[in-house]
Amino acid sequence: MSKRIIVVGANASGVEAASAARKKDRTAEITLISQEKNSGYSRCGLPFVIGGHIANFSDLVVYPPAYFQMLKLTLKPETTVTAVNTKDKTVTYVTKEGVTETVPYDSLVLATGADAFMPPIKGREKQGILSLRSLEDGEKIQAAVKAGAKSAVIMGAGLIGLEVGVGLIEQGLTVTIVEMLPQILPQLLDADMAKLVQEHLEEKGMRILTSKGVEEFLGDDKVTAIVAGGEKIEADLFISAFGVRANTKLAVDAGIPLGESRAIKTNGRMETAVKDVYAVGDCAEAPNLITHRPMCAQLGTIAVRQGKVAGVNAGGGYAQFTGILASAVTRLFEIEAGNTGLTETSAARNRIEVVTGAISSKTKADYFPGAKPIKVKLVVEKESQRIIGGQVVGGEEVTQRINALSFAIQKGMTIRELAKADTAYAPPLNETWEPMVLAAEMVLMRLR
């Protein structure tokens, strides 16, 4: 009898899990069940449709229906899983027509993702507060812009909040960002690096209010203004970008344990504490490669890697997920920003004593036309002198430097080794001295 594999969730991690399982087992019955109408699309691309860089939301669909047919994967869209019985090894779901079915599984992969988070703010039940998590959410924001919205308030200055803010300014709206913490991009950058990004955004016309929490939503039935830091701010469009929380309800109801991060606890094979049940993506936790503590990073790159590991194992193979550095990059107008490993702030939170070094340089030879500024910051564990974090902010060439620093951290490179790195140079491409090497020398000076 063919093995029955059920995947709950059909986006990045879920589709990757199903695909990997199919490559391991050509005869298995593999079913993906998704609450959403659209499956296999890129959530990360949503702000760039709003900004007009990508023509249509439909262009974000990475895996069209033909893909599922080709791999003989059964896709059930607009279907809600209501219960998982790990003792009987069954899944109960309700279709969009209201039909309830209970089906057996041999292996189950939970890829239930995360939900937009709304703090308990007075007036939050009012209409007109939008978030950006799905294609439908994106279409609502785009519809509001097309209907004549002229101003927007975005609550939260993380990656999504700022990317949406940039997109709306590109569409001609005036945008105010409200952030409770003292800096923008608090998960990605330290305050000194975030300041460079904030200055660029403000030059482009974005109003940014830090250290101001949203206290109340004003309006009758529909929100017309917010109160933040005692100030009333009116707008046509209100977008919640407070962050997301792992969707763990199914797991909790089924008695599957959560971990330290309040996401689903997993081991190196992405198995939960219950046999034959795996968890991947934004609902699952895994260890940080530096601190070894569990975390739930909620990045697309991590989701697909975890999905592949779970899929191989669910299909009868063997694979291990090594852990998380949470490397991430973004582009906001003409500035790029990225991080890998720990920031100085997160190292302090984990009681790791560090030495840091930063350097401002150019992306080409200083005399070459079009050379853009770039700043590199390195975070080094004082005792071992190992590199444990890197941040880069600049006009171009940020991603590959973040990738290089990610490789360095994963291989346990010390700051002395990086300072001696053999790097490439040509006037139109890079300075004679690579900025990462110069930053390493700054750290060495402090260590002496």
By annotation, the residues acting in catalysis are: 44
In angstroms, the CA 134 to CA 136 distance is 5
In angstroms, the CA 288 to CA 115 distance is 22
What number of residues does the chain have?
Answer: 448
Task: Say which amino acid occupies 267.
Answer: N
Token pair for residue 77?
Answer: 């869209």
Using CB atoms within 10 A of its CB, is residue 310 exposed (0-12), middle (13-18) or buried (19+)? buried
Task: Say which amino acid occupies 90.
Answer: T
- In 186-247, beta strands by DSSP E: 207-209, 214-218, 225-228, 231-234, 237-240, 244-246
- What is residue 337's three-state secondary structure? strand
Token pair for residue 121?
Answer: 């703010």
User: Strands 373-381 and 387-394, how do they pair?
Assistant: antiparallel
Token pair for residue 389?
Answer: 């974090």
Measuring CA to CA, which residue among 344, 327, 324, 341 is closest to residue 193? 344
Measuring CA to CA, which residue among 3, 12, 7 is closest to residue 301? 12
In angstroms, the CA 344 to CA 191 distance is 9
Using CB atoms within 10 A of its CB, is residue 285 exposed (0-12), middle (13-18) or buried (19+)? buried
